[in-house]
Chain A
């Protein structure tokens, strides 16, 4: 006999009004970052600690990567934590604070003025993240299931807060030096807390829930996910300890290895989900997401090389530049490309057709964007991406500029498709 529950058991999804501003902001940030890349091509032939590179990196990490992930996570939180989002107001607050803070911080870096624009930018971003963490924390505390995915996303958000906190501390250290070491020395800590603690942990937590869900896979392995969780956080904490107490020691390879094992296990998890899927057809967006998981291997190769150079007291700045470029313009961007057109059409579909459901044949959410443009965008982006890395390696301004122009074209195509989805009007047959 069926034990009936009533309709209230359906967890309410987050309104599109909360999510869409984040998506829009991220799309424009990608375009802004590629344009800046074009006008700052020369900077990529120099040291990575260059004002323009810092500005581009923060637009990519915050304006593009973080804003998109914050938007998507507000939508996905109910799916991940099995409870509705606590507060839409906190989500709006988080958006407004970050949306104001990011350009201020980027401007501060671009002109290398660590005065009020950078400081206020940093403060506003920190408050934005705090709003997000509080929202998430209360949402999770109100939910019944404290599942592994919820813990991943919460821990990732705490790493994001710590990253931003350290970042702001470094901005202050420029004008009032109070830290025992120079600001430049703390960059690896700031960068890896953000890349591994925030981006990697979040991608693993969200991906481990969504990949089997989208593939309709029979595979599930919570134990493996907990092992991955411990390895990533253990790796980061050991990196923090080594950075503070054993700088320059060969033990620095230990956190790299720990996170690499976590990554291999996550790859195994994705592969098992893929092999045990019921749905044979895999769309382009899922293929891009899977490609981006594979692309995560590249930064590890560079990281091992960089650690090797560092231990021999030499530093190849080109290697560091390529490493950073692969992370932000490669791995994170490809994930977002796939995620945008996997989630945005559904958000808009729900908005446009919710009240019209069952009245006639509605278009498939996949048809809300132009898949051909998506493929051309991906191809041109990959071409620009590979060419830009070649430009960094050759330290050639012409190659860098040409590659940046291709990336601008890809960013324009991305924006075109995003606007096409967002401006979709109801069509019922």
Chain B
């Protein structure tokens, strides 16, 4: 999955929550799809600095997926401000899909 984080425990909680955000076209959640790049926690300032990508920069569902990721993080870590960055460098490739994700797509 290769998610960068400065707090492994909180990152695990975040990713577990984000498994509920599903790409509507593919039917796979954003974590197993490999769309989440970074989830860093700024404890002092009560901020979450996250970075994610999309399967394509021109994804028609992009806005909805981003909004869902932001909302889930806000709900999971109430009281912390979520700063979500959308990045396309490095671009998403099929290689980022997790083993579970590949098994799901292979069904």
**Binary per-residue interface labels of chain A (58-102) against chain B in the complex, 1 for a CB within 8 Å, 0 otherwise:** 000000000000000001001100100000000000000000000
Q: How far is the CA of A350 from the CA of B62 in the complex (A)?
A: 10
Residue in A216, A353, A354, A359 whose Cβ sees the most chain B Cβ within 10 Å = A216
Q: Which residues of A contact B85 (CB under 8 A)?
A: 4-7
Q: Does B51 contact A (CB under 8 A)?
A: yes
User: Which residue of A has the minimal Cβ distance to B72?
Assistant: A358
Q: Are A10 and B86 interface neighbours, CB within 8 A? A: yes
The answer, yes or no, to whether B64 is at the interface (CB within 8 Å) is yes
Contact residues of B between 17 and 59, Cβ < 8 Å to A? 20-22, 24-27, 37-38, 51, 54-59
Give CA–CA (A365, B57) in the complex, Å. Answer: 20
* Closest chain A residue, CB of each to CB of B93: A218
Is B14 interfacial (CB-CB < 8 Å)? no
Assess the B88–A5 pair: CB atoms within 8 A.
Answer: yes
Q: Of A9, A12, A353, which is within 8 A of B64 by CB? A: A353
| A25-50 interface with B by 8 A CB criterion | none
Report A-chain residues with C-beta under 8 Å of the C-beta of B15: none
Q: In the complex, what residues of A have CB within 8 A of residue B75's CB?
A: 358
Given the known inter-chain contacts A4-B51, A5-B86, please indicate yes or no for A357 contacting B26, CB distance below 8 A.
no
**A281's closest neighbor in chain B, by CB?**
B107
- Does B66 lie within 8 Å of A10, measured CB to CB? yes
Which residues of chain B (62-99) have a CB below 8 Å from chain A?
Answer: 62-72, 75, 84-90, 94, 97
Contact B88 A9 (CB under 8 A): yes
The answer for the CA separation of A6 and B22 in the assembled complex, in Å, is 22
A314 at the interface (CB under 8 A from B): no
Nearest chain-B residue to A213 (Cβ)? B56
Q: Which residue of B lies closest to A354 (CB)?
A: B64
Chain A binding surface SS class: loop
Interface residues on A, range: 35 or more
Cβ contact within 8 Å between B68 and A357: yes
Q: Kindly state whether residue A278 has any CB partner on chain B within 8 Å.
A: yes
Q: Are A2 and B105 in contact (CB under 8 A)?
A: no
**Given the complex of chains A and B, what is the CA–CA distance between A11 and B57 in angstroms?**
7
Asked if A10 contacts B90 (CB within 8 A), the reply is no
Given the complex of chains A and B, what is the CA–CA distance between A353 and B107 in angstroms?
A: 27
Cα of A297 to Cα of B48 in the assembled complex, Å: 55
Whether the pair A278, B102 counts as a contact (CB closer than 8 A) is yes
How far apart are the CA atoms of A364 and B24 in the complex, in Å?
6
In the complex, chain A residues whose CB is within 8 Å of the CB of B69: 358
B88 — which chain A residues lie within 8 A by C-beta?
5, 9
Q: Are B87 and A5 in contact (CB under 8 A)?
A: yes
Contacts of B70 in A (CB 8 A): 358
Q: Which of B57, B67, B97 contacts A358 (CB 8 A)?
A: B67
Chain B neighbourhood of A7, CB < 8 A: 66, 84-86
CB of A280 within 8 A of CB of B105, answer: yes
A-B contacts, 22 listed (Cβ < 8 Å)? A2-B38, A2-B90, A4-B85, A7-B66, A7-B86, A10-B62, A10-B63, A79-B56, A79-B59, A82-B57, A278-B105, A279-B105, A280-B106, A281-B105, A346-B25, A347-B60, A349-B61, A350-B60, A354-B63, A358-B67, A358-B69, A364-B27
- Leading 7 A-B pairs by shortest Cβ distance: A358-B71, A358-B68, A357-B68, A13-B60, A3-B89, A79-B58, A357-B67
